């Protein structure tokens, strides 16, 4: 099982057994924090632990729990000592992105971060249970009833299931007297804190830079953090076809913020060659997920040449109403707030699955500061009518009759060139040129000169997936797919 997901951590691979208990754990490590002594599984007395992800408040927790109790510099060890503290809601003190399995001689606990940034699956294995970060770990293993641990969920063999975190419901209309200027300023401060927190590492952290609003905001703030802490320029990475809008926009942003920027130009042939890799690691044949995963792969490969971790802009669209279909809610702030809350809860098997699987296929850790817990709480308290706003096209603070992510743009307007801050959004696969080049690649793979329709594209992706797995039906049954209402709105 661990060899099938060894790409997630090439720095070390270890297997450990808990004495006098039917527990075996394995871990493949990508060393980011505690690089010298943070090996896993972490085995202390009668407890054993494996963790995927990062605990960003681990230093604060160490101070509270007592540093003398720790045997390593690893952030992951914090989980073990919090559990041992006996507090009833100990897991809620963890701030970060994580999935873990902890076992004692008579108990197993498995849990996942609030929005499911890091994956975790559970399956039945005979009379016992098996856990893994990816579905492919179970391929060829005689497990049954595979399911994901839900975001913000905890499974305990002693006490059963718990939902330890619930996404706060979004506000709709502004209360009378709400100071919009102060709200924007506070959002900026919360966002800056989130980016600084999510840059904590013992290795260099870079940033994806598509040239769009979200990744540009993250990169601009990250560059400020590096300057304020006396480090060199931020490394930023962009990909696209020759002449793609994303490449030009990313170049302009990089020059504006002063980052150390690299870009890679891909071709239709590169797309055709990458498809089997993308579909295997994505663990889904969903057309929209596959399309968006391709440029993510190329960006990950480029970044991994220089860094082990990157910041990304995922989550801004769900928090601040950034998708085109959100415009259909402009006259109903309550419905928009409800939709944003709903979509946050589905990210784990859509965009977050894409980002995690594809970056980790290249042994690169992707970090999503927009999904910081404190930022989620604050963003959900901002009225939806400030996120999607009817604006006067004659003013600078506008992208047209309706402006998505209005409050986010306002909060970060001084960070970036005005034309970027207020321009319309383009999807990553559109701005990078993937959609057009993919049509060329699909025709080549299918041996046809005719346009390939969506149905043919979906059938090809499923065929490619089935060719790579022993039990492809299990993968497809549990696969992430873009199955919400947004296409119909």
Residue showing tokens 């060719």: 467
Q: Which tens digits make up the pLDDT trace of 176-211?
A: 889 999 999 999 999 999 999 999 998 999 999 999
Q: What totals of helices (H) and strands (E) does the chain contain, helices first?
A: 17, 18
Indicate the helix (H) or strand (E) that contains 274: helix 268-282
Verdict on whether the full-model pTM lies above 0.85: yes
Between 268-282 and 434-446, two packed helices, what is the crossing angle to 10 degrees? Answer: 90
Q: Which tens digits make up the pLDDT trace of 165-175?
A: 999 999 999 88
- pLDDT score of 61: 94
Q: Is 195 annotated as a binding residue?
A: no
**Domain residue ranges of the chain, discontinuous segments joined by +:** 3-163, 180-488
- Pair 365, 310: CB distance under 8 Å: yes
E strands present in 241-318 = 260-265, 309-311
Residue showing tokens 């059963």: 160
Cα–Cα distance measured from residue 192 to residue 199, given in angstroms and rounded to the nearest whole number: 11
Cα–Cα distance measured from residue 403 to residue 220, given in angstroms and rounded to the nearest whole number: 22
- Pair 226, 201: CB distance under 8 Å: no
Q: Which tens digits make up the pLDDT trace of 336-358?
A: 999 999 999 999 999 999 999 99
- pLDDT score of 488: 32
- pLDDT score of 467: 98
162: which 2 tokens?
A: 């718990």
**Ranges under pLDDT 50 in the chain:** 393-394, 428, 484-489
* Top-level class of domain 180-488: alpha beta
- pLDDT score of 487: 38
The distance from CA 117 to its chain's CA centroid, rounded to whole angstroms, is: 5
265: which 2 tokens?
A: 């130009």
Q: What is the DSSP string of 326-370?
A: GGGGTT-HHHHHHHHHHHHHHGGGTHHHHHHHHHHHTT-EEE-GG
- pLDDT score of 68: 84
Residue showing tokens 């993919």: 438
Cα–Cα distance measured from residue 262 to residue 254, given in angstroms and rounded to the nearest whole number: 9
Report, at the CATH architecture level, how domain 3-163 is classified.
4-Layer Sandwich (3.60)
Q: What is the DSSP string of 135-157?
A: GGGGTTS--EEEEEPPTTEEEET
Question: Average pLDDT of the chain?
Answer: 92
Contacts of 428 (CB under 8 A, 6+ apart): 210, 212, 246, 292, 295, 296, 434
Q: Which of 92, 141, 151, 89 is nearest to 119 (CA)?
A: 151
Q: Is 331 annotated as a binding residue?
A: no
- pLDDT score of 430: 58
202: which 2 tokens?
A: 């013992």
145: which 2 tokens?
A: 């009833």
């Amino acid at each position: 099982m661990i060899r099938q997901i060894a790409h997630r951590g090439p720095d070390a691979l270890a297997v450990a057994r808990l004495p006098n208990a039917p527990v075996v754990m394995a871990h493949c490590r990508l060393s980011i924090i505690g690089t010298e002594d943070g090996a896993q599984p972490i085995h202390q007395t009668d407890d054993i632990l494996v963790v995927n992800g990062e605990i960003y408040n681990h230093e604060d927790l160490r101070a509270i729990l007592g540093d003398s109790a720790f045997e390593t510099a690893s952030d992951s060890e914090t989980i073990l000592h919090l559990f041992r503290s006996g507090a009833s809601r100990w897991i809620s003190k963890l701030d970060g992105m994580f999935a873990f399995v902890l076992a004692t001689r008579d108990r197993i606990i498995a849990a996942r971060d609030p929005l499911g940034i890091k994956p975790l699956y559970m399956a039945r294995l005979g009379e016992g249970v098996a856990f893994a970060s990816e579905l492919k770990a179970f391929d060829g293993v005689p497990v049954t009833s595979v399911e994901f641990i839900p975001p913000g969920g905890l499974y305990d063999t002693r006490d059963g299931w718990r939902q330890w975190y619930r996404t706060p419901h979004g506000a709709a209309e502004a209360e009378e007297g709400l100071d919009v200027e102060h709200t924007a300023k506070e959002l900026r401060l919360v966002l800056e804190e989130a980016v600084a927190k999510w840059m904590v590492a013992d290795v260099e952290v870079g940033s994806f830079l598509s040239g769009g609003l979200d990744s540009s905001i993250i990169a601009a703030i990250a560059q400020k953090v590096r300057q304020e802490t006396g480090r060199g320029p931020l490394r930023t990475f962009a990909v696209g076809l020759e002449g793609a809008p994303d490449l030009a926009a990313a170049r302009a942003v990089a020059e504006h913020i002063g980052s150390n920027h690299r870009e890679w130009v891909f071709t239709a042939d590169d797309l055709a060659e990458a498809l089997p890799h993308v579909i295997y690691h994505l663990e889904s044949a969903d057309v929209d997920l596959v399309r968006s995963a391709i440029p993510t792969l190329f960006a990950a490969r480029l970044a991994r040449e220089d860094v082990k971790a990157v910041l990304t802009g995922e989550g801004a669209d769900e928090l601040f109403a950034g998708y085109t279909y959100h415009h259909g809610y402009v006259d109903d702030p309550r419905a928009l707030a409800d939709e944003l809350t709903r979509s946050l809860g589905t990210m784990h098997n859509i965009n977050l699955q894409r980002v995690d699987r594809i970056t980790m296929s290249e042994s690169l850790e992707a970090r999503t500061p927009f999904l910081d817990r404190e930022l989620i709480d604050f963003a959900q308290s901002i009225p939806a009518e400030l996120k999607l706003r009817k604006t006067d096209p004659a003013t600078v603070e506008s992208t047209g009759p309706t402006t998505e992510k209005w409050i986010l743009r306002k909060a970060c307007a001084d960070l970036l060139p005005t034309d970027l801050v207020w321009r319309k959004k383009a999807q990553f696969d559109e701005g990078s040129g993937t959609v057009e080049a993919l049509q060329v690649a699909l025709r080549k793979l299918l041996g046809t000169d005719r346009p390939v329709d969506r149905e043919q594209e979906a059938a090809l992706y499923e065929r490619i997936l089935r060719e790579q797995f022993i039990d492809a039906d299990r993968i497809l049954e549990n696969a992430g797919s873009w199955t919400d209402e947004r296409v119909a709105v």
